[in-house]
A = this chain, B = another copy of it.
Amino acid sequence: MDHNLLLADRTRQINASAIREILKAASRPGTISLAGGVPAPESFPIEIIRKLSNKILDTYGAGALQYDLTEGFPPLCNALSGYLANKGIAAEPDDILITSGSQGALDCIGKILISAGDKVAVEAPTYLGAIQAFNPYEPEYIHLDSDDNGLIPSSLEKAISSHRVKFVYIVPNFQNPTGRTISLERRREIASIITRHDVLLVEDDPYGDLRYQGIPIPAIKTMAAHHVIYITSLSKVFAPGLRIGFCLAPQNIRKWLVIAKQGVDLHTSTFNQALAAEYISGGFLKETLPEIIRIYQPRCKKMIDTLDHYFPDGFHWSRPDGGMFIWVEGPTGFDMQNVYRESLENRVAFVPGKYFYTTRGKGMETMRLNFTMATEEEIDSSIQTISEIIKNRMQIRAA
């Protein structure tokens, strides 16, 4: 039988991620990867997880292995309520919905909100995982502009004045792919705009805890609670392989997210939720986070320094205060795909920035660099390699 004839209309919208192929190439032995968005394995609290695995079997017994509520394992919801309070976000345990990674929240949001043709406003460039979650529900995207201070509020106001936008999706802290953070002043403006226009905002904040300098900026959720779905994940501060994310949505929306999630996976792993509950309530997250930051902070600084040192004039890069990524923009007309190919031959991988745009032909001159998976030495040599390839190509271009 020709199985392709059976595919739903929406399946045409679901594209294989080109980044999958890039990450495959990047994982070849001997290649320095600045491509992934993956935590350093040395940041994982293996021995704590060993201890907690034993503890949760003692504490919860069969309950850690049994079916559980779709909404989330109650001890984890309790722990997360305290975790959010530390960020200034007021949340009762019953306000929280645990999801299978933040991806699980994005999928359910797309599922309950997007009808085919609905308009979703996103930063350009934006997080690819969100696009992959939303695409099967067939939205159209409206693009929002940003600069070194993150999303530009006037661009948001213009977009929601001229289009009927179902919701706005942003990553406020150390954005993927740009590393940019929306300033406090702009957050206040954004909160005011969405409240005034009565528009829903999805605030996706997986990187907020990974701050290497400066002071934390309050979430937009704290400024417009009723208009914001706040999403975050323990993947970057605990262990991504446990697939624990969660969201905080207005009750009228959470109710539907729960029902949607029940159809998707019944509930997130009880065992892993119990691990996460103990990790937070036992104070291990608080204890371990500074150690993770101690690994990443010098790598971030090293990458900015080497870019400053090696990269030619005409190129501009973000100077993030945290997160996992630096964004490089070359001169208009420069094609980063060619640099990518040549870098890979020289065993250095990164992601060409064009993949983070939903409009074809945009971002050809950009790249995303990850600094969490490479050592400082590797960062130095790989940035030098990329910079030489770029300089050669600039000369060819000038000639």
A interface residue numbers (CB < 8 A to B): 1, 3-4, 6-11, 14-17, 20, 38-39, 41-42, 44, 46, 49-50, 53-54, 57, 61-68, 100-101, 103-104, 107, 111-115, 118, 129, 132-133, 135-137, 166-167, 198, 200, 226-227, 235, 239-243, 250, 252-253, 256, 259-260, 262-272
Contacts and interface: CB of A to CB of B under 8 A. Distances in A.
Given A8-B137, A17-B262, 5 more contacts: A3-B252, A6-B200, A53-B53, A242-B269, A265-B265
A155 B101 CA distance: 42
Contacts of A107: 263-265
A103 B53 CA distance: 25
Contacts of A135: 263
Copies of this chain, complex-wide, total 2
B243 A267 contact: yes
A42 B63 CA distance: 11
Contact of A103 (B57, B263, B270, B272): B263
A285 to B, nearest CB: 14
Give the one of A68, A198, A239 with max B CB within 10 A: A239
A237 B57 CA distance: 18
30 contacts: A1-B198, A3-B250, A7-B112, A7-B256, A9-B115, A10-B111, A11-B256, A14-B260, A14-B263, A41-B62, A41-B65, A44-B62, A44-B65, A49-B57, A50-B54, A50-B57, A53-B57, A54-B54, A64-B241, A65-B239, A65-B240, A100-B265, A101-B265, A103-B266, A104-B264, A129-B266, A135-B263, A242-B269, A243-B269, A265-B265
